[in-house]
């Protein structure tokens, strides 16, 4: 027993361990494949049952829905048939009345046609009689003209035949003369050609004989040289020829040995290739399996990343949309509140302004156009050219504000006129104030009046205005300078005299 235990505990070699590991892997793969097959079969059966149940349920729903639709459709068709029958009866009545009226028209038309046919036949008979008379006259004229034409034709035919015969005789004579001339010229040209051909033939024969002699002498010289060169070559290469034959024998033996070795090498290479092919097939199968697994893993990871990215992107978009929506809603609420406040202010101002309206404004709140008809036509001609589509749409949206703008423009014009009147009154008030001040300065005595220039203030017959020292010299071409006069108040003079 101890020996058997020792034998069992002997360590396995690497190859045996590798084989065991491969067997385990194969067994695990087989188990996994069986599980996958069983799972796929279960899922296929389940899917087939679900499809069968869904098809049955769908058929049931369709049948019930068809019955409902048939009932609805039958009701609709009954209503349509009743309507169609009523319309058909109405149309038939109309058609009957039309047919009766047409029958009456047809009978009247047949009577009119018979009357017209009789008058037409009478007219045709008269026309036929006239046509027969015309045909008889035309036949007589035609026979007369035909006889004259036949006589003229016979005369012309005889003259043409005679002239044709004369021309044929003339052409035959010309043809014979030309043929004779052609035969003579042909004989002369043949003689000249024969003589020239003989001369050329003789010259070619002489040149050929001379060239043959020259070439024979050259060929003999070349043949002699070739024989001498052949003798020299055979004498010089006799030893090499013997060595070549011995080497040739050795080459044949070595070639046979090489063929035998090559066959052995080829057999070994074939066996190596077979083994390599088996190894490559096994490695490819394992690599393909691993690659399929890796590809599936990568696809799953890529899909997972895409789904995560889509989820984050959707969340970001939803967050951005929510922020935008809140901001826009707050902005719109503020704008709407401002509009409401503005409208309330306008309504309050309108109520306040209504108290200050005159009776004319209450009766006629909108003034008519101040423009003349000609100016109005010019504006209507100018405006369509300058308006664009967008501007026209905007103007169409604001047409309802015309009355408001009329009242606003009326108030604006009144405001401008009042402002202008105010400026005018302020200017008049300023002028009057200046005049009053001057008057008061003239009748009152104070430090301010004494410090300023005043023509009414006179002491010892002298004013405080500056007097000119010397008279300006006037030239004959110059204008006269304006002289200044001192004015003394009468009341002041009388007070001093008394």
Q: Say yes or no to pLDDT of 1 above 50.
A: no
Which residue in 412, 411, 415 sits closest to 423, CA to CA? 415
What's the per-residue H, E or C state across 291-315? HHHHHHHHHHHHHHHHHHHHHHHHH
Q: pLDDT grade, residue 296 (50/70/90)?
A: confident
Which of 146-155, 384-393, 485-494 is predicted with the least confidence, judged by mean pLDDT?
Answer: 485-494
Q: What is the pLDDT of residues 213-241, one digit of tens each?
A: 877 888 888 888 878 877 787 777 777 77
What is the predicted pLDDT for the residue at 5?
A: 45
Q: Which residue did the predictor score with more confidence, 493 or 192?
A: 192
Q: Say yes or no to pLDDT of 56 above 50.
A: yes
| Neighbouring residues of 430: CB distance < 8 A, sequence distance ≥ 6 | none
What is the predicted pLDDT for the residue at 279?
A: 83
Q: How far apart are CA 449 and CA 439, in angstroms?
A: 12
Q: Within its chain, how far is the Cα of 367 from the centroid?
A: 53
Work out the percent of the chain whose per-residue pLDDT is above 70: 80
Q: Within its chain, how far is the Cα of 345 from the centroid?
A: 53
Q: What is the pLDDT of residues 364-382, one digit of tens each?
A: 666 666 666 776 677 666 6
Work out the percent of the chain whose per-residue pLDDT is above 90: 5
Model pTM score: 0.26
Q: pLDDT grade, residue 422 (50/70/90)?
A: very high
Q: Which residue did the predictor score with more confidence, 308 or 367?
A: 308
User: For the purposes of burial, counting CB atoms within 10 Å of the CB of 341, is it exposed (0-12), middle (13-18) or buried (19 or more)?
Assistant: exposed
Q: What is the pLDDT of residues 400-409, one digit of tens each?
A: 677 777 777 8
Q: Say yes or no to pLDDT of 9 above 60.
A: no
What is the predicted pLDDT for the residue at 461?
A: 55
Tell me the Cα Rg of the chain.
71
């Amino acid at each position: 027993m101890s020996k058997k235990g020792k034998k069992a505990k002997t360590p396995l070699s690497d190859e045996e361990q590798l084989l065991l590991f491969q067997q385990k892997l194969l067994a695990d793969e087989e188990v996994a494949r069986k599980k996958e097959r069983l799972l796929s079969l279960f899922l296929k059966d389940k899917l087939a049952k679900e499809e069968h149940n869904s098809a049955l349920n769908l058929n049931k729903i369709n049948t019930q829905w068809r019955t409902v639709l048939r009932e609805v459709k039958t009701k609709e068709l009954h209503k349509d048939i009743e309507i169609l029958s009523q319309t058909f009866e109405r149309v038939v009545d109309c058609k009957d009345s039309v047919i009766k009226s047409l029958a009456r028209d047809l009978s009247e038309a047949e009577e009119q046609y018979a009357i017209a046919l009789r008058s037409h036949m009478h007219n045709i008979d008269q026309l036929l009689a006239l046509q027969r008379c015309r045909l008889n006259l035309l036949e007589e004229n035609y026979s007369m003209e035909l006889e004259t034409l036949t006589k003229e034709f016979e005369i012309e035919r005889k003259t043409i035949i005679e002239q044709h015969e004369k021309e044929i005789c003339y052409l035959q004579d010309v043809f014979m003369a030309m043929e004779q001339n052609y035969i003579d010229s042909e004989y002369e040209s043949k003689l000249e050609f024969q003589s020239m051909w003989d001369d050329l033939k003789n010259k070619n024969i002489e040149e050929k004989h001379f060239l043959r002699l020259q070439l024979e002498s050259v060929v003999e010289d070349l043949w002699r040289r070739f024989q001498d060169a052949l003798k020299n070559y055979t004498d010089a290469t006799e030893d090499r020829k013997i060595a070549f034959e011995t080497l040739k024998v050795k080459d044949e033996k070595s070639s046979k040995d090489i063929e035998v070795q090559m066959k052995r090498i080829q057999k070994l290479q074939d066996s190596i290739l077979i083994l390599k092919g088996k190894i490559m097939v096994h490695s490819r199968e394992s690599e393909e399996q691993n690659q399929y697994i890796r590809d599936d893993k990568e696809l799953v990871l890529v899909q997972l990343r895409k789904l995560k990215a889509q989820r984050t992107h959707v969340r970001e978009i939803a967050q951005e949309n929510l922020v935008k929506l809140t901001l826009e809603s707050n902005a719109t609420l503020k704008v709407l509140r401002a509009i409401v406040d503005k409208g309330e202010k306008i309504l309050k101002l309108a109520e306040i302004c209504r108290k200050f309206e005159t009776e004319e404004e209450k009766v006629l709140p909108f003034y008519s156009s101040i423009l003349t008809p000609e100016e109005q036509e010019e504006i209507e001609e100018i405006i369509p050219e300058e308006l664009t589509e967008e501007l026209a749409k905007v103007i169409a949206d604001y047409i309802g504000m015309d009355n408001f703008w009329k009242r606003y423009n009326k108030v604006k014009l009144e405001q401008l006129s009042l402002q202008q009147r105010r400026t005018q009154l302020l200017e008049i008030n300023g002028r009057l104030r200046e005049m009053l001040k001057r008057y008061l300065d003239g009748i009152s005595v104070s430090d301010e009046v004494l410090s300023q220039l005043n023509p009414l203030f006179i002491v010892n017959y002298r004013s405080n205005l500056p007097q000119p020292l010397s008279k300006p010299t006037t030239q004959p071409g110059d204008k006269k300078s304006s002289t200044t006069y001192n004015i003394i108040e009468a009341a002041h003079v009388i007070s001093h005299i008394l």
